[in-house]
Structure 1
Amino acid sequence: MLTTFFIACLLLGALVGFLAGLLGIGGGLVIVPALVYLLPQVGIEANLIMPVALGTSLATIVLTSMSAVRAHHKNRNIPWQLTRQIMAVVALGALLGAFIADELSSQTLAYIFACAVTLLAIYMLASIRRNKTRDMPSNLVFQGVGLFTGVMASLMGIAGGAILIPILSYFGVQMRQSIGVATACGLIVALFGSLGYFITGLDQDNLPGLSLGYIYLPALVGISLTSSLFARYGVKLATKLPVRTLKKCFAVFLMIVAIKMAV
């Protein structure tokens, strides 16, 4: 059964990497619901499925996002003066989200994921474009945005770009720089969020042997091995297909996943 599970994670990683390259979406939106389905197959108890799925998803993002951060930094897409303003509170939020998740039931976490994904899918479907430039909010408000992003991303097992990019774009930050900020902060979210899930899972005696806290190593290794390899193929195909239409189709898929998790 473990071998079958590992093969499924290799296939999942290929899908996640391909979609990330094709649509520019975070892998957690696919990894979390897939692991919710796969983890019971290796005997993980129902009350542990969501925290394990979330912690493992964030750990995979740590491994897969490092190269993206380097690439954005090399291309000068990351405005570090802006990014540094929220990195600390994003890290705090990610840690806080992991500790909050440890106190919530798997059912509650599934509802949170389903509701947040539904909102993101609606936003994606609406394809809202705001051309009016707005002044950036005060530093305190901006740090509040970072804290909120860190907490919600950690509770959803995602990097947070789907939350942060629309907010930065709303305040007139160029899309290229918004993606750069979100990529750098996403690495911080994944690093501190997975650290939080590692710490909070240490006192769980009924986790499988191949676990580091709430991080399940076979899933982490399987997904990470193939996701980075297949991202390049998604990028190549993105230049040939109507990506806006594909994003809308993916948004519909997300809503179906959200409804299934809620039910």
Structure 2
Amino acid sequence: MIILFLASMALGAVAGLFAGLFGIGGGLIMVPVLAMLFVRQGFAAEIVMIMAVATSLATIMLTAVASVAAHHRLGAVLWDKVRRLVPGIMVGSALGAVIADKISGEVLRYLFIVYLLYAALQLALQRKPNAGRKPSSRFLDHLAGGVIGSLSALIGIGGGTLTVPYLVHFQIPIRNAVAVSSACGLPIAVAGAASYILLGWRSPLLPEWSLGYIYLPSFIGIVLTSVITAPIGAKLAGIIPAQKLKRYFALLLLAVAAKMLWL
């Protein structure tokens, strides 16, 4: 447990730094590394991936609070749009956790690999979302929230790579889209983490110090360091050429995806 806790602190430091530097969620780094750590620690193979996803999602709760507070102070959060997305997001996040609990760890691993490849491609090409011609309807926002919530909870991310392109496509300025996405990350994390706690509550395969599918030593270790390094990464983004670094980060994600094929 001590080794995992210390390793999780190191992971949190790196994930927080990357999140602040590149403006993406730490789940891209946390889920695969946690899965590798859990395998080495001898956790049951059937629950390695779902515990990595659940633990990653739980850490997003705290980082999302800090992020949305910063955006709110800048007046960038469109709260009407958040309120339209949240109902679908909450339902979708719970559904995503249920799906993750029902499918095999092998399928969950391949789903995450596909997402890593998608994220790496987006970073390497540095594509910007295309703006659409008309705003979205209330029904479409509810539906999109459900899809974003379910996919995010399924793979343990805050949903920014899904929410921002959707909002920009429907005429939301990128600054506001990022702020709304940050606000939506909190209900994704809360609903998803709560669902993973309930779904894993009585699992006989869980190691000691687990809260449902959330492994508490890793959760605490990641949170302790990521809240320190995320602001540092954000400051570094204004100093070093982050656009060029994104391509190197994309290569790192490709390497992680390749490693996960042989997890």
With the shorter chain as reference, the TM-score category is over 0.9
Cα deviations across residues 72-123 of structure 1 (Å, max 9, x unaligned)? Answer: 1121111011111110110110000000000011100001111122122212
SS in 2 for 1:78: coil
Query: So what's the TM-score if we normalise by structure 1?
Result: 0.95
TM-score (norm 2): 0.95
- TM-superposed deviation, 1:132: 4.7
Cross-structure match for 2:74: 75
Match of 1:232 in 2: 231
Check conservation: 2:130, 2:165, Cα contact below 8 A.
no
Gaps (5+ residues) in structure 2? none
Does residue 194 (structure 1) correspond to residue 197 (structure 2)? The answer is no
Q: By how many angstroms is 1:256 displaced?
A: 2.2
Q: Where do residues 173-188 of structure 1 align in structure 2 (5 Å cutoff)?
A: 173-188=172-187
Cα distance, 1:145 vs. partner? 1.3
What residue is the counterpart of 1:220 in the other structure?
219
Contact 2:85–2:142, Cα closer than 8 Å, also in 1: yes
Amino acid at match of 2:135: M
Rounded to whole Å, the distance in 1 between the matches of 2:104 and 2:26 is 23
Cα deviation, residue 193, structure 1? 0.4
| Aligned residue in 2 for 1:155 | 154
Larger mean CA deviation between 69-78 and 191-200 belongs to 69-78
Matched, 1:262 2:261: yes
125-134 or 192-201, larger mean C-alpha shift: 125-134
1:63 and 2:62 are equivalent in the alignment: yes
Q: Which residue number in structure 2 is paired with residue 242 of structure 1? A: 241
> Can you list the C-alpha shifts for 1:125-183, whole angstroms capped at 9, x where unaligned?
22223565521232222222111100100111000011111221222211111111111
Partner residue in 2 for 1:136 = 135
Of 148-157 and 69-78, deviating more is 69-78
Aligned equivalents of 1:80, 1:6: Cα separation in 2: 37
* Structure-2 residue corresponding to 1:91: 90
User: Where does structure 1 lack aligned partners over 5 or more consecutive residues?
Assistant: none
Work out the CA distance in 1 between the residues paired with 2:128 and 2:222. Answer: 33
Further displaced range: 123-132 or 147-156: 123-132
**In structure 2, how many angstroms separate the alpha carbons of the residues matched to 1:130 and 1:8?**
36
Task: Evaluate the alpha carbon distance shift between residue 212 and residue 127 of structure 1 in structure 2; reply closer, same or farther with a 3 A threshold.
Answer: same
2:113 maps to which residue?
Answer: 114
Instruction: Report the Cα distance in structure 2 between the residues aligned to 1:170 and 1:186, rounded to whole angstroms.
Output: 19
Q: Which runs of 4+ in 1 moved over 4 A?
A: 130-133
**Change beyond 3 A, Cα 1:65–1:131:** closer
Residues in 2 aligned to 1:113 and 1:131: alpha-carbon distance in whole angstroms: 25
* Pair 228,142 (structure 1): closer, same or farther in 2 beyond 3 Å: same
Are residues 1:211 and 2:227 paired? no
Contact 2:129 2:165 in 1 (8 A): no
Any idea what SS the aligned residue of 2:24 has? coil
Q: 1:185 offset after TM fit, Å?
A: 0.6
Amino acid at match of 2:144: V
Amino acid at match of 1:40: V
Q: Judging changes above 3 Å, is the alpha-carbon distance between structure 1 residues 121 and 130 closer, same or farther for their aligned structure 2 residues? A: same
Give the aligned CA root-mean-square deviation in angstroms.
1.4
Q: Deviations over 1:185-232 (max 9, x none)?
A: 111100100111101101201211200100000000000000011112
